[in-house]
Structure 1
Amino acid sequence: MTAISPPGSTKFQIDLRRHLREEEEDRDLTRVICEIADASKYIINAIRTGDLGLAGTSNLYGENQLALDVLSDRILRKRMIHSGVVANILSEETSEVIEVDPGGKYSVAFDPLDGSSLVDVNLAVGTIVTIYEGSDLLQSGRNQVAAMYILYGPRTSLVYSTGRGVHEFCMNQLMEFTLTKENIQLQPSGNIYAPGGQRNLYTEGTEKYVSSLEEKGYKLRYSGGFVPDINQILLKGSGIFLYPHLRDKPKGKLRLIFELNPMAYLIEQAGGKASTGRQSILDIKPESIDDCAPIFIGCREDVERAEEYIARYG
């Protein structure tokens, strides 16, 4: 992992657009990624100053929408519509794919503000994005051409991959994203774990696995937000996040298209692994936009040990 000058430093900063250009990324893909980065400037302002109450509506999962969810969705949707290169968009806050331009080169799915219920207690939240070529969003995660997330915490950071490594950018005082870490890599195994879900509902395999981590001295580091927890694992280069199959939720809770696929893509690009406990997340072909799956994601050896426990104990 190559460290770059810290945010605020004047020494040789590389901004996001320049980095994409130097990587010789497709021009239209560069535009989509930069539009999302620009949208985040308005989302962070909404988080700092906006309404923290309910919007009076619910999303397709029956969850009450916060005003910030709705506003973040509108900001991203508008940027994608006006990009001129997007065929279809899909948001976790809407119930169907939105057709934008039949001639568009890319389709984009996003969770506009993952963990939004944490904003009112001032914890970190984020935006998660997946990008596919063409108009079909019901593809396996292997077909992603890019994935990214933006973390709104003490610092605002952007992490992306187009299949050539994972790179982190931080927002500077001018609200520009500049490169801070390049080619992020995970260690084979870690020493932290972030366990989601109610533990008394874990299956025997998951319970035995988590107990084995505790016996080895793994430290529990769970924030309740998917973006900050994955960001911690990536930037520390160590650890595993799990939101497993539960006794009352055999398919888990997290959404395949909006959350699991983009994070699995990023983790695998960094040398890690993402699994349901039985198969690779990126090999699942979604049947509908609201498909969920269990997830064990992080350092490769940690995930493989989880798979061994699931195979043996269920």
Structure 2
Amino acid sequence: MLEAGKTKFQIDLRRYLREDGVDHKLIHLICEIAEASKYIVNSIRTGDLGVAGTSNLYGEEQLALDVLSDRIMRKRLAKSGVVSNVASEETRDIIAVSPHCAGNYSVAFDPLDGSSLVDVNLAVGTIVSIYAGSDLMQPGQRQVAALYILYGPRTTLVYTTGNGVHEFGMNQLMEYTLLRRNIRLAPKAAIYSPGGLRNRYSPGVENFVSYLEENGAKLRYSGGLVPDVNQVLMKGNGMFFYPHLQGAPKGKLRLLYELNPMAFLLEQAGGAASNGRQRILELQPQAIDDCQPFFCGCCEDVAKAEELIANLG
């Protein structure tokens, strides 16, 4: 195996997954998602930035890119031959593919998180959560893999199968090759990315922001979940949070499509993820549209957030 950190060796994604001992069906699934991302990249570069004239499960107006990215992902997953069920942030129900096939996987995904940022040329991403079998309504600690793909100045894929967090970059041939392996987080944050309106923060969250600033953490926030969590991971010393708010006690981020996969990745990098009171990966989803507050990043700072929220709300 390669040494931790950056590498100049051109090891492609499929080979790395094989050498990491990943099940062959799961390798096929992850590589199919990587293939789908190539078409999404092209859609972002050349596609329609207007509205689709429809709304998703949450009443949000869908952009044409949302609909197209969702279609690309679903078609690729359905044709993979290893998927039982899929759930997309853009659809209202879990979609059965091959629910009775033993040894298959189920996938929850946000096909283009932050799509409203495309028209101002900011980074966006695809987020994916994978479970063995046909049941998607499980605590996140039962995930067998999680990944995101960041469409920024470079296109990168960051994944875990429970054996560390690894980053791959798309090269000129549109192939993913290894950039960094075994990415790790420091115990304390030097940057932070806060979502939500600050004048709606609870006293505990407001005190947490003050604590971060007093300890020298600098504000770094793009408004996109994928680029902001990626910044936390790649810098190795950050916090991202979208807290409970006055009038929105569960925040706005979705447990199934966003929080579970990101929490799995952060924990595998030595960090932590919480809703302010409980570990994210222990939460049992009640519905596919469940939302939870989210605090993730350096473990000492996540613990401090929980302490302040327990004491102050």
- What TM-score do the two structures reach when normalised by structure 1? 0.97
| Deviation by residue 1:67-120 (Cα, 9 ceiling, x = unmatched) | 000000000000000000100011000000110012151000100000000000
- Runs of 4+ with deviation above 3 angstroms: none
Which SS does the other structure have where 2:310 is aligned? Answer: helix
Unaligned runs of 5+ in 1: 6-11
Q: Say which of 75, 80, 86 aligns to 1:78.
A: 75
Name 1:296's counterpart in structure 2. Answer: 295
After TM superposition, list the pairs within 5 Å mapping 1:1-314 onto structure 2: 1-5=4-8, 12-101=9-98, 102-103=100-101, 105-314=104-313
Which SS does the other structure have where 1:179 is aligned? Answer: strand
Which SS does the other structure have where 2:119 is aligned? Answer: helix
How many aligned positions are there? 308
Partners of 2:267 and 2:195 in 1: CA distance: 20
RMSD of aligned alpha carbons: 0.7
Q: 1:212 Cα shift? A: 1.5
Structure 2 counterpart of 1:92, one-letter code: E
Q: 1:190 Cα shift? A: 1.5
Partners of 2:263 and 2:257 in 1: CA distance: 11
Partners of 2:171 and 2:87 in 1: CA distance: 30
Partners of 1:176 and 1:273 in 2: CA distance: 31
Segment drifting more, 205-214 vs 280-289: 205-214
Partners of 1:142 and 1:213 in 2: CA distance: 28
Partners of 1:293 and 1:151 in 2: CA distance: 23
Q: 1:194 Cα shift? A: 0.4
Name 1:9's counterpart in structure 2. Answer: none
Structure 2 counterpart of 1:27, one-letter code: H
Structure 1 counterpart of 2:87, one-letter code: L
Q: 1:251 Cα shift? A: 0.8
Structure 1 counterpart of 2:7, one-letter code: I
Q: 1:217 Cα shift? A: 1.9
| Deviation by residue 1:286-307 (Cα, 9 ceiling, x = unmatched) | 0100000001100000100111
Partners of 1:193 and 1:300 in 2: CA distance: 13
Structure 1 counterpart of 2:36, one-letter code: A
Structure 1 counterpart of 2:256, one-letter code: I
Partners of 2:212 and 2:101 in 1: CA distance: 50
Name 1:8's counterpart in structure 2. Answer: none
Q: 1:250 Cα shift? A: 0.4
Unaligned runs of 5+ in 2: none
Partners of 2:189 and 2:203 in 1: CA distance: 23
Q: 1:170 Cα shift? A: 0.2
Which SS does the other structure have where 2:295 is aligned? Answer: strand
Partners of 1:250 and 1:234 in 2: CA distance: 27
Structure 2 counterpart of 1:255, one-letter code: R
Structure 1 counterpart of 2:27, one-letter code: T
